[in-house]
């Protein structure tokens, strides 16, 4: 029986006279399950690459259609989540290049940054300090090499080091060195501003 | 890289925080941390930095996420379009295929018998143009961008026309095209060239260019291996277009 929101697909039954709805195949179901699991994480990553949300959504559609073809051809099912992030990373960079975006490594727009963390429990001064601190963190982030930003973002989205190495085509040692270097800079953000 | 004064490196600290150390190294790092206030403070700094980044990352990006329902439904619809359309028993499929092949063979024989040569079309004749490749690997073809024009030498063009039995008077009606594009490792070899008629209105050179660009992109993105791309475009580029664009007709740009 088809799901309520599924698109009805029909085929002629054996007699050729009647029609019946086709249930989604196992591969379709698996792709949709992975979409449900990973879509938000992928979209955050693509936004962090500097893509607008609409482009990010289109890239994600391409990624999961490519995954479907991959499964239909009986190709490797080993570490599909890593495969998905790798294809999303590559397609995202291509899309960004096509958009000719000059904001190298921008993780969010200034407008979005200004809007963050407006906790109503904070008084205006606390809110300003809080936002100032986030702006300092944002500055630290922007000052990092782009690949270090990608490592941090992928790690924040739950990827293990081996997956990050595969997505970004780096060695494991380079991933850990990148994360160690970046987090050390973050940990010094308050020290450097006398907090 | 070791930290000065034999303290733990930043790398060791982040690996320990993420549970990525080998058991032996993990035991060494834990032993050091239990004895060293300085490294414990740095470890707390690292963990605070992780918390800061996660909060920054989520606070900045979560509010930009549109609802998932629309994209989810769109994906399901597109998957349904691309899914196998028939659940007919395999034996029946084979019988139908055999019948189809027989009829197709008869039809092709009739066409070859009735239509005078030269007979060129949107696809080359496989016995004359099976495709030929250079010894290249993925990194070679991905080092150059797709769809770069590569002129076929005039002498080679003449040989292609001769092979296809095309008279001089008709030369301006054709473009000598690579079957496997050089951007996918195709060779400048007569076995890889054929006269593509300008008169093709649907499956024309522009459509083939779009396929070549798509295949190049897929190969370089790791979605398709180079050998498969070469094979598919050489076997039947129109079928390859339909397959990789998921479309039975050329798409409008």
pLDDT band at B132 (very low <50, low <70, confident <90, very high): confident
CB nearest to B221's CB, from A87, A179, A183: A87
What percentage of chain B reaches a pLDDT higher than 70? 76
A44-48, A82-86, B141-145: the lowest-pLDDT one: B141-145
Compare CB distances from A66 to B52, B73, B223 and report the shortest one's residue: B223
Q: Give me chain A's average pLDDT, please.
A: 77
**Is the domain of A115 the same as that of A167?**
yes
- What is d(CA A39, CA A61) in angstroms, rounded to the nearest whole number? 10
Q: Does A93 contact chain B (CB < 8 Å)?
A: no
pLDDT at A154: 94
Give kind and range of the element (H or E) at residue A60.
Answer: helix A53-72
Same domain assignment for residues A144 and A195: yes
Question: Tell me, what's the pLDDT at A8?
Answer: 38
Q: Which chain B residue shows the shortest CA-CA distance from A34?
A: B72
How far apart are alpha carbons B42 and A109 in whole angstroms? 31
CATH of the domain at A57: 1.10.1740.10
| Whether residues A56 and A75 fall in one domain | yes
Residue A52 lies in a domain: yes
Q: Is B192 exposed, middle or buried (0-12, 13-18, 19+ CB in 10 A)?
A: buried
Reported as a single tens digit per residue, the pLDDT across A91-115 is 999 888 887 544 544 444 444 444 4
Mapping DSSP to helix (H, G, I), strand (E, B) and coil, where does residue B133 land?
Answer: strand
* B77/A61 Cβ within 8 A: no
Residues A55 and A39 in one domain: yes
Q: Is residue A3 part of a domain?
A: no
- Residue A189 falls within a domain, yes or no? yes
- Say yes or no: A123 and A195 in one domain: yes
A29 and A96 inside one domain: yes
| DSSP annotation of A118 | -
Q: Are A28 and B84 an interchain contact pair (Cβ–Cβ within 8 Å)? A: no
Q: Could you tell me what percent of chain B has a pLDDT over 90?
A: 13
Number of separate domains in chain A:
2
A116 vs B: CB within 8 A: yes
How many Cβ contacts (< 8 angstroms) between chains A and B? 160
**CATH code: domain of residue A171:** 1.10.10.10
Residues A189, A131 within the same domain: yes
Is A47 part of any domain?
Answer: yes
The answer, yes or no, to whether residue B187 has pLDDT greater than 70, is: yes
Residue A15 lies in a domain: no
* Cβ contact A34:A80 at 8 Å: yes
Is omega for the bond preceding B118 within 30 degrees of 0, making it cis? Answer: yes
Q: Which whole number is the average pLDDT over B237-242?
A: 90
Mean pLDDT over residues A49-69, rounded?
92
| Residue ranges making up the domain that contains A180 | 109-195
DSSP state of B186: B
Contacts of B56 in chain A (CB under 8 A): 116, 134, 137-138, 141
Same domain, A73 and A121: no
Q: Give pLDDT, residue A188.
A: 83
- Please name the residue of chain B whose CA is at the shortest distance from the CA of residue A19: B86
Q: Is the pLDDT of residue B101 over 50?
A: yes
- Supply the mean pLDDT for chain B: 79
- Residues of chain B with Cβ-Cβ distance to A187 below 8 Å are 42, 45-46, 48-49
A113 found inside a domain: yes
Please spell the DSSP secondary structure of B1-28, one letter per residue.
-PPGGGPPPHHHHHHHHTT-S-HHHHHH
Query: Which residue in B has a C-alpha nearest to residue A44's C-alpha?
Result: B61
> A8 to chain B nearest CA, in Å?
8
Is residue A6 assigned to a domain?
Answer: no
Q: Give me B148's structure tokens.
A: 């770069």
Binding-face residues of A in 39-58 toward B, CB within 8 A: 39-40, 43-44, 47-48, 53, 57
A52 with A123, same domain: the answer is no
Residues A131 and A96 in one domain: no
CA dist B61 → A43, A108, A130, B46 (Å): 9, 7, 18, 22
Mean pLDDT of A162-185: 91
**Is A138 among the domain residues?**
yes
Taking the Cβ of residue A80 and every Cβ of chain B, the question of whether any pair is shorter than 8 Å is answered with: no
Residues of B in contact with A32 (CB under 8 A): 72, 75-76, 79
Q: Are B11 and A184 in contact (CB under 8 A)?
A: no
């Amino acid at each position: 029986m088809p799901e309520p929101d599924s698109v009805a697909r029909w085929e002629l039954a054996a007699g050729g006279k009647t029609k019946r709805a086709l249930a989604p195949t196992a591969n379709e179901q698996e792709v949709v399950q992975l979409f449900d699991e990973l879509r938000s994480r992928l979209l955050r990553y693509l936004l962090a690459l500097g893509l607008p949300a609409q482009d990010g959504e289109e890239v994600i559609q391409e990624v999961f259609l490519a995954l479907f073809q991959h499964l239909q051809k009986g190709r490797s099912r080993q570490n599909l989540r890593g495969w998905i992030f790798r294809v999303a990373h590559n397609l995202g960079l291509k899309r960004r290049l096509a958009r000719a975006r000059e904001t190298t490594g921008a993780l969010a727009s200034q407008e979005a940054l200004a809007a963050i963390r407006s906790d109503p429990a904070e008084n205006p001064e606390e809110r300003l300090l809080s936002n100032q601190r986030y702006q300092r963190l944002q500055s630290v982030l922007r000052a990092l090499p782009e690949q270090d930003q990608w490592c941090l973002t992928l790690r924040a989205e739950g990827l293990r080091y081996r997956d990050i190495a595969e997505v970004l085509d780096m060695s494991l040692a380079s991933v850990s060195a990148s994360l160690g270097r970046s987090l050390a800079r973050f940990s010094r953000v308050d020290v450097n501003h006398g907090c | 890289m070791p930290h000065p004064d034999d303290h733990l490196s930043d790398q060791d600290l982040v690996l320990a925080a993420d549970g990525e150390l080998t058991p032996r190294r993990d035991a060494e790092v834990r032993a050091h941390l239990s004895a060293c206030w300085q490294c414990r403070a740095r470890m707390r700094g690292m963990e605070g930095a992780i918390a800061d980044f996660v909060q920054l990352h989520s606070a900045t990006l979560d509010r930009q996420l549109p609802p998932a329902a629309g994209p989810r439904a769109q994906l399901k619809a597109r998957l349904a379009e691309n899914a196998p359309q028939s659940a007919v028993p395999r034996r029946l499929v084979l019988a139908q295929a055999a019948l189809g092949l027989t009829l197709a063979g008869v039809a092709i024989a009739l066409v070859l018998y009735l239509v005078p040569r030269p007979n060129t079309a949107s696809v080359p004749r496989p016995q004359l143009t099976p495709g030929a490749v250079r010894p290249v690997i993925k990194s070679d073809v991905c080092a150059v961008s797709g769809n770069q024009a590569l002129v076929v030498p005039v002498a080679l063009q003449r040989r292609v026309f001769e092979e296809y039995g095309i008279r001089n008077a008709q030369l301006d009606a054709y473009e000598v095209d690579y079957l496997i594009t050089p951007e996918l490792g195709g060779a400048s070899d007569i076995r890889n060239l054929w006269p593509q008629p300008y008169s093709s209105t649907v499956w024309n050179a522009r459509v083939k260019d779009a396929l070549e660009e798509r295949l190049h992109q897929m190969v370089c993105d790791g979605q398709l291996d180079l050998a498969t791309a070469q094979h598919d475009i050489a076997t039947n580029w129109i079928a390859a277009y339909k397959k990789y664009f998921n479309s039975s007709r050329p798409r409008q740009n």
